[in-house]
Amino acid sequence: MKTSKTKIAVGLFITTGLILLGCKKDADIEASYLPLDVEKTCTVSKTDFDSWFASGKATENGLVSPANSVTFPHQNNCDFYKWSHQMFLWITSPSSGGYGNSGTVMESPVFYNVSPPFDVSKQNPHGIRKLVPHTPGELLRVTPHISQNGPNKLPVIMDKQGRMFEVETSQDNEVTFLKNAKNELVAIKSLVNNEKRGIDFLDAKGKVIEGPKAVIKSKINPNRVVHSFKLGKKQIFLDASGNQIETEQGQAGSNGALMAENKSLVYYITMVNDVYAYYLSGVNEGKLNNSQFPTTQKELNSILAYAKAKGLPNPPDADALAMELKTSWVETTNLPNAKSYVTIKAIIPTYNKSNPNKWVVNGERTATLALVGMHVVGSVAGHPEMIWATFEHQKNTPNEAYSYKDTKGQIKEVPADKGTGWLFNANASDQGAQQNFQNMTVSGDTILITNPEVYSPGARRIMAWGSASNTVPNPEDKTPADANSQVISINNDIRSLLVGNDIRKNYLLIGATWTFGGNAPNGASYPYAPQVNNQTPIDSIPTPTPLGDAIGTAQLSNSTMETYVQSPSSASTSANSISCFSCHNNNNGLAPSDLSHVFGETKTILPIVNTKGKK
């Protein structure tokens, strides 16, 4: 998109009711389009905002206190969005006071790193993680891949209809079986292309297996699980009914790695706070009840008593309750407007790139990393299923079209973003071959590259503010424009209340998701019906069949973490309406291991510490 000299001179561009923000030369705030005439349906008063700061008054890059999750009001959607913003501001605050001098609060001993599962794709399919305490003076370690798995803790893909499937794979040298047309088990020898029929599966004698159907081992929603087979560099996905599931060309789903336009890999860190860590340890040791994450003062007291008995430090912000973070980062080298990012120093892997199609880890080095995305997840009063919120830097990816309501109550349509300057999209005006193209996949410590000449992911945020364009988002918001307006409104308020060149002005709340009244999630987004008896989703089931109970901005994705597993903008059934609870919903229950993959995969029991702090 060409920009005239006049527009550059004034730094102001108005289109469809939008104003280009942040063009002042005295600020490092990167320009971003947000409607300023949005209906003010979710706001924060200056008095309330000042109270979020540890000093009692908003200051530039000042320390924010966490929201009190024990007394969380949960009266309307806006309460959830306020909680999300306050927690993000706290986590990204410069550490001081009781946090020591660790850079940001998330780098302080309040949080623990969660190690990635060891070689999830092969040697350890279920993953064994451990908690790594943050030690003052020690840098955090990152990974170039984040675990984005479904209810069976398997990688996920999206087909061309926007439906999500989990993927089973066979380990190297493992004999794989299919069922044939007679429902007999047959071992596969190979796959071949057939000009008339597409792909043929051959048995041990080289004969075509008629009516091949995948043998699915997973127990949760097996109709949404496929088995992956390889034919050369191509992946073939087959379900238990014999259907070949088609994805966009080159898409690797949640097994992919991501590279930004500055040619930095995207690195990830998963963390939990001290309350979560103590609770997890107590459950693993059989000392605490594992029925649900803490939401009351009584449950919190039990966790604190356990910690005290082990000599563990008293959490400085216990009222934050249990929190889990997933963060995404890029190197600051060649990063435009690097001063507009929250940064940390961390240890990243290095690669032998002598084979441009296969990068193999060969060491580590220290790098300065810039924060590009964050999932903020936490338990609060009345909601043991947790609030699932996500934030992104404003220059990550272009938005697809969306609508909002202005101050006169009129719905306005915002066209899809175009032009250049996005960190994960070379040219938003080009919606051709690179859109949804996943060029890099992860296998253990190795990154496989399909085309070394193509690194741009061509990423877009399909649902700008987490709501589909064609359905009622939640019981409080009757149109997508209403839901979008609430999120935009609070983003505008927070930006206006942050003082001066506060670095956090550059980050946007994309949305947050929770369930009706803290119910156990049923895996479906409002207003669609959940799957019934693990069969094909039915969206016209009469009452009293419950509706999907994921509400708020229920079809939420982060373009740096769910880049290639986003719902289509016009999601129309429970099959292609993907929420956080589509994956974080192992047994339609509220047990922590049902909701959090980290909880079930982490076996850490924290060590007993004496009163002098020595093991």
- pLDDT higher at 273 or 435: 273
CB 72 within 8 A of CB 383: yes
Give the mean pLDDT of the chain: 84
Residue 572's pLDDT is 64
Distance from C-alpha of 92 to C-alpha of 86, rounded to nearest angstrom: 10
Residue 255's pLDDT is 67
Mark 51-76 as b/e (b = at least 16 C-beta within 10 Å): ebbeeeebbebbbbbbbbbbebebee
Instruction: Kindly state the percentage of the chain with pLDDT values over 90.
Output: 50
pLDDT tens-digit series, residues 570-606: 766 666 677 787 778 877 789 999 999 899 889 899 9
Instruction: Of 88-102, 256-270, 365-379, give the range with the top mean pLDDT.
Output: 365-379
For 210-267, the three-class secondary structure string (H helix, E strand, C coil) is CCCEECCCCCCCHHHEEEEEEECCEEEEECCCCCEECCCCCCCHHHEECECCCCCECE
Residue 542's pLDDT is 44
Q: Per-residue pLDDT averaged across 84-91, rounded?
A: 98
CB 313 within 8 A of CB 359: no
Distance from C-alpha of 269 to C-alpha of 424, rounded to nearest angstrom: 19
pLDDT of 164 above 60? yes
Q: Which of 111, 102, 112, 97 minimizes the C-alpha distance to 65?
A: 97
Q: Per-residue pLDDT averaged across 21-35, rounded?
A: 47
pLDDT tens-digit series, residues 510-549: 999 999 889 988 888 888 877 644 344 444 444 445 678 8
Residue 173's pLDDT is 73
Residue 469's pLDDT is 87
pLDDT of 101 above 80? no
pLDDT tens-digit series, residues 204-226: 888 999 989 999 998 888 888 89
Mark 232-263 as b/e (b = at least 16 C-beta within 10 Å): eeebbbbbbeeeebebeebbbbbbbbbbbbbe
- pLDDT higher at 118 or 52: 52
pTM, entire model = 0.87
Q: Per-residue pLDDT averaged across 123-131, rounded?
A: 65
Residue 323's pLDDT is 98
pLDDT of 432 above 70? no
In sequence order, what are the residues at sequence separation of 6 or more whose Cβ sits closer than 8 angstroms to the Cβ of residue 591? 290, 291, 292
21 HSE (CA, 13 A, CB side): 18
- pLDDT higher at 449 or 327: 327
Q: Per-residue pLDDT averaged across 347-373, rounded?
A: 94
In sequence order, what are the residues at sequence separation of 6 or more whose Cβ sits closer than 8 angstroms to the Cβ of residue 133? 109, 112
Interior CA angle at 116 toward 114 and 119, to 5°?
160
- pLDDT higher at 38 or 118: 38
Calculate the CA 428 to chain-centre distance: 22
Residue 435's pLDDT is 46
pLDDT range class, residue 119, cuts 50, 70, 90: very low
- pLDDT higher at 130 or 452: 130
- pLDDT higher at 454 or 186: 186
* Residue indicated by tokens 């005006």: 429
Residue 100's pLDDT is 62
- For residue 373, give both structure tokens: 């995305």
Residue 446's pLDDT is 86
pLDDT of 194 above 90? no
pLDDT tens-digit series, residues 248-302: 654 445 567 888 999 999 999 999 999 999 999 999 999 999 999 999 999 999 9
Distance from C-alpha of 80 to C-alpha of 380, rounded to nearest angstrom: 10
pLDDT tens-digit series, residues 495-510: 999 999 999 999 999 9
Residue 32's pLDDT is 52
Instruction: Kindly state the percentage of the chain with pLDDT values over 70.
Output: 84
Runs of H (alpha helix) within 361-518: 480-497
